[in-house]
Amino acid sequence: MPLSDDLTRFLASVHPYDGLPEGDLAELAAGCSVVDVAAGERFFSLGDTIQFLYLLVAGEVDVRDEQDAPLSLLGPRNSFGERAILRNERASRSATALSAVTAIRIPAGVLLHLIAEHHGVAKFFDRTGRTGGTQGRARDLASLPVAELMTRDPVTCTPDATIRDAATLMQERGISSICIAQDGRFHGIATLRDLNGKVIVGGRDPMGPISGIMTQTPLTLGPKALVTDVLHLMVERGIGHVPITENAALVGIVTQTDLTRAQAMTSADLVGRVAKADDAPQMARATAEIPQLLVQLISSGSRHEVVTRLITDIADTATRRLLTLAEADLGPPPVPYLWLACGSQGRQEQTGVSDQDNCLILSDDMTEADMPYFEALARFVCDGLNTIGYVYCPGDMMATNPRWRQPLATWRSYFTGWIAKPNPEAQMLASVMFDLRPIGGDATLFDGLQQDVLKAASANSIFVAHMVSNSLKHNPPLGLLRGLATIRAGEHRNRLDMKHNGVVPITDLGRIYALQGQLTGVNTRARLEAAIETGVLSPSGGADLLDAYDLIATMRLEDQATQIKAGDAPDNYLDPATLSDFERSHLRDAFVVVKTMQSAAGSGKGALS
């Protein structure tokens, strides 16, 4: 058939195979076969052993779950079958040709070999959350591609710029070298060593051209080189700056300072600096580096729940340090208190975009005379958090609001009232407060409160029903035929909201499962795992939801890292046009899984259906 003559070229046009070396691509093509399947025929059914990954060339395939509910409608350049192969299990879904289909069959052994031998392929399939392997193993700094570490758009000047102008620019920017480029071509580099040796000591005229003292055709590397290549080059040649070029054009630079900063940039380093800070502005200098930490963690292959946990640890430390500074300023507290976080900090799921959500539980021994102290304490801490980057909560869910700064007995009455009369506000507030986590102060004030509330709430079927209904207000972005539905208008038009339509629906489901099972964990992934272990959530449904959550949360963080590397402030809006067909297909599958689990919860069948 025509495709067999051009199999290699077709594979080379599909990610991740487009990144394979020419020889490996040819070997892959030789190991594949092409199959034609008539409309109505099945590729595999539930319980089948899957021997191939199928890559669609033409036609459409209908994928359905265990309950025969439509899961995905796949078109050309999409793949299916990898789920069972990578899990080494029988098929938990079926795949049927809706029309005449032409597909490439990649044997399971060939796919597994590609994953084992090629990091790009392994990382790609890890993004679906299904390999359970390489994504959980952080790469060493030295094995990172230079493109993930280099300073992009380095400071440049033209060859005819004067030495004095170039030196002035270096001083203004606080840099130790300047690259010389013109008309898209890289000409050379001048460093402080050149200025000192050739101008100050050598007597060159500072009004002469920078081209007269620059190093022409310096040693360079490409963006696909590894950081270890930079290290070896610096050590062997005794240099401190390596320009990064591509097709003779300057695209970046790596300096010894970049390497030192990257090696020192750990969450522990930032936690240590925050913990020793004397005031909020000093903390802010440390927390300003959180975006770069996120980039490094994502680039090194850390899992999304590890990244968010490490980033949240910094916020926890900042909160405790501010509490300590507040007590030093205000004096010892008149009665015991407990500062708690809710929202993403409470769930240990903070990303590069986080506001603050917090509250205070006070000892029942407090009197009205004690309230000014805690008002001042709350203002000191919330103002400090805002200063260091955790902006004020738009909904005023903060300890500065008197409503959320109350004695323990009042907090118990809050929950009792919300459970007894689950109106819309009560549902919203209960959802937020079910994510409470102690941060600093007397933790005994929280002892028993969470368990008592969960027991009372789970026993009230009307409250549970209302909470389930409230949890379904955030819908995955699926349109007709279960395609991706982007935002239609406004600043984020044609993008997906990976927070409110991505992770939030899963966070809401996790909270419902915790309520039904009286599970005390507040982290979303931990809640899902506990729901599976305790039987609240079926093994197959739970595995699907965990896969969906891992994919959505990972893609959200990776997109934020991409924005940061481009010099933009991170947000939660993903342009699906930046994804490959394969990635869009699996992202759509993930959203369908979430929608299916929402439907099961909303139908009253329960999490086990």
Q: Above 90 in pLDDT, residue 198?
A: yes
Token duo for residue 245: 């070029």
Q: Which pLDDT score is estimated for 5?
A: 54
Angle among Cα 130, 133, 135 to the nearest 5 degrees reads: 85
Token duo for residue 305: 């729940």
Position 150: which residue type?
M
Q: Which pLDDT score is estimated for 143?
A: 65
CB 486 within 8 A of CB 496: yes
Token pair 């005449």 is found at 100
Partners of 252 in beta bridges? 152, 244
Q: Which pLDDT score is estimated for 204?
A: 94
Pairwise pLDDT comparison (568 vs 266), residue with the higher score:
568
Instruction: Categorize the per-residue pLDDT at 104 as very low, low, confident or very high, splitting at 50, 70 and 90.
Output: very high
CB 362 within 8 A of CB 371: no
Q: Is 273 helix (H, G, I), strand (E, B) or coil?
A: helix
Pairwise pLDDT comparison (609 vs 346), residue with the higher score:
346
Instruction: Categorize the per-residue pLDDT at 108 as very low, low, confident or very high, splitting at 50, 70 and 90.
Output: confident
3-class DSSP string for 159-223: CCCEHHHHHHHHHHHCCCEEEEEECCEEEEEEEHHHHHHHHHCCCCCCCCEHHHCCEECCCCECC
Torsion over CA of 135, 141, 142 and 143, rounded to 10 degrees? 20
Say how far apart CA 98 and CA 63 lie, in whole Å. Answer: 10
Q: Above 90 in pLDDT, residue 279?
A: yes
What are the chain's domains?
A: 2-137 (2.60.120.10), 146-262 (3.10.580.10), 265-413+438-444 (3.30.460.10), 472-602 (1.20.120)
Helix (H) or strand (E) holding 360: strand 358-362
Strands 358-362, 405-407: pairing kind: parallel
First to last CA, the chain: 45
Q: Above 80 in pLDDT, residue 326?
A: yes
Q: Which pLDDT score is estimated for 112?
A: 87
CB 42 within 8 A of CB 98: no
Say how far apart CA 465 and CA 467 lie, in whole Å. Answer: 5
Q: Which of 154-163, 166-175, 226-235 has the lowest mean pLDDT?
A: 226-235
Position 58: which residue type?
A
Q: Above 60 in pLDDT, residue 2?
A: no
Percent of the chain predicted with pLDDT > 90:
58
Q: Which pLDDT score is estimated for 491?
A: 93
Strands 496-497, 101-107: pairing kind: unpaired
Token duo for residue 177: 């070298």
Instruction: Categorize the per-residue pLDDT at 20 as very low, low, confident or very high, splitting at 50, 70 and 90.
Output: confident
Say how far apart CA 255 and CA 374 lie, in whole Å. Answer: 48
Listed in sequence order, the residues at least 6 apart from 242 whose beta carbon sits closer than 8 Å to its beta carbon are 219, 220, 221, 230, 233, 234, 253, 254, 255
Averaged confidence pLDDT in the chain? 88
Q: Which pLDDT score is estimated for 136?
A: 36
Token pair 């029942």 is found at 364
Q: Which pLDDT score is estimated for 59?
A: 92
Q: What is the largest CA-CA distance in the chain?
A: 87
Q: Above 90 in pLDDT, residue 605?
A: no
Considering only CA atoms, give the Rg of the chain: 28
pTM: 0.72
Which whole number is the average pLDDT over 97-122? 88
CB 589 within 8 A of CB 550: no
Pairwise pLDDT comparison (502 vs 88), residue with the higher score:
502
The pLDDT tens digits of the residues spanning 566-595 come to: 889 999 999 999 988 888 888 998 999 999
Q: Is the peptide bond before 16 cis (omega within 30 degrees of 0)?
A: yes
The pLDDT tens digits of the residues spanning 118-151 come to: 877 887 776 544 444 433 334 556 667 888 788 8
Q: Which of 112-116, 192-196, 346-350 has the lowest mean pLDDT?
A: 112-116
Token duo for residue 309: 């946990």
Closest CA to 62 of 90, 101, 104: 101
Closest CA to 497 of 427, 428, 591: 591
The pLDDT tens digits of the residues spanning 541-550 come to: 899 999 999 9
Instruction: Categorize the per-residue pLDDT at 258 as very low, low, confident or very high, splitting at 50, 70 and 90.
Output: confident
Q: Which pLDDT score is estimated for 432?
A: 86
